[in-house]
Amino acid sequence: LKPKVDINADLGESYGAFKVGNDAAIMPHITSANIACGFHAGDPVTIDKTVKVAKKHNVAVGAHPGFPDLMGFGRREMQLTPDEVESYIIYQVSAIRGFAETAGLKLQHVKPHGAMYNMAMTDEKLSKAIANAVKKIDSKLIVFAMPKSALDAAAVDLGLKVAHEFFVDRNYNPDGSLVSRARPDAIVQNLKKTVDRTARAVCEGRITAINGKTVRLGEVHSVCVHGDTPSAVKIAEALKKGLITAGVEVKAVGSFI
């Protein structure tokens, strides 16, 4: 049996006249789009366009909800109550789902953004609130989460499907967490290395940590490429080719999870 994997990217991060990323160029090389929902980025016109471009390229669409912090792009920790989190997720995911449905698409997944995603690595209350919201909206929505994260556990507890993510150009600590962006070695700069380690992560479920030790990731369902860096298109393109060459079937996670 051929291994399968999804390639996801954060898209639709423009906001009115503020243009971010190169959505149209990256779409041919990915299979799932995480679309910003208006709280940390993504105005309605941008969302509408992004959903339509995704449809054109047969890319599955998901919601990418974040903290209500446009000035900080959702990258700053905020302490919210579980009720606030749940309502904010329902609001944002429902908005994206509306655009997906008017375009004739079904919403595939939900992936929290930025600080919310990072906090959901370990914050159980937050993770439970996110999972509760997703379940209330549609229990068939797939939650994107780091393997073994609090969000992974919370979603599984509620019977939701979880897509385990691998970050293609981020270095990992021996415990399976990401090397902090504050460190100079957070990012894997070499393109070939990025492709090779991703292929290994997908095929073998393990990678080499920053200290040389092997990290068991378990099954990887989706690999994340960044949409907002100048080299994003190049990475996504090389990655898709490299994975196919390595014998991996690249397709939207909703089709095989």
* Residue 17 lies near a copy of itself (rule: CB under 8 A): yes
Query: Tokens 């894997």, residue?
Result: 188
CA distances from 130 to 101, 119, 142, 162, 211 (A): 22, 11, 12, 13, 33
Nearer to a copy of itself among residue 32 and residue 46 (C-beta): 46
CA–CA separation, 102 and 120 (whole Å): 31
Q: Which of 5, 7, 9, 20 binds a copy of itself (CB under 8 A)?
A: 20
Q: Are 49 and 36 in contact (CB under 8 A)?
A: no
Nearer to a copy of itself among residue 50 and residue 198 (C-beta): 50
Residue 78 CB, nearest approach to a copy of itself (Å): 5
* Residue 256 lies near a copy of itself (rule: CB under 8 A): no
CA–CA separation, 154 and 165 (whole Å): 16
Q: Which of 24, 25, 78, 187 binds a copy of itself (CB under 8 A)?
A: 78
* 83's tokens: 């009720």
* Residue 196 lies near a copy of itself (rule: CB under 8 A): no
* Residue 91 lies near a copy of itself (rule: CB under 8 A): yes
* Residue 16 lies near a copy of itself (rule: CB under 8 A): yes
* Residue 93 lies near a copy of itself (rule: CB under 8 A): yes
Q: Which amino acid is it at 12? A: G
DSSP 109-154: EE---HHHHHHTTT-HHHHHHHHHHHHHH-TTPEEEE-TTSHHHHH
Q: Which of 52, 136, 140, 183 binds a copy of itself (CB under 8 A)?
A: 136
Burial tier of 138 (Cβ tally within 10 Å: 0-12, 13-18, 19+): middle
Residue 239 CB, nearest approach to a copy of itself (Å): 24
Q: Which of 87, 177, 229, 231 binds a copy of itself (CB under 8 A)?
A: 87
* Residue 210 lies near a copy of itself (rule: CB under 8 A): no
* Residue 80 lies near a copy of itself (rule: CB under 8 A): yes
Nearer to a copy of itself among residue 139 and residue 190 (C-beta): 139
Nearer to a copy of itself among residue 13 and residue 152 (C-beta): 13
- Please report, as residue ranges, which positions from 36 to 55 form the binding site for a copy of itself (by CB under 8 A): 38, 41, 43-45, 47-48
Phi, psi of 131 (to 5 degrees): -65, -40
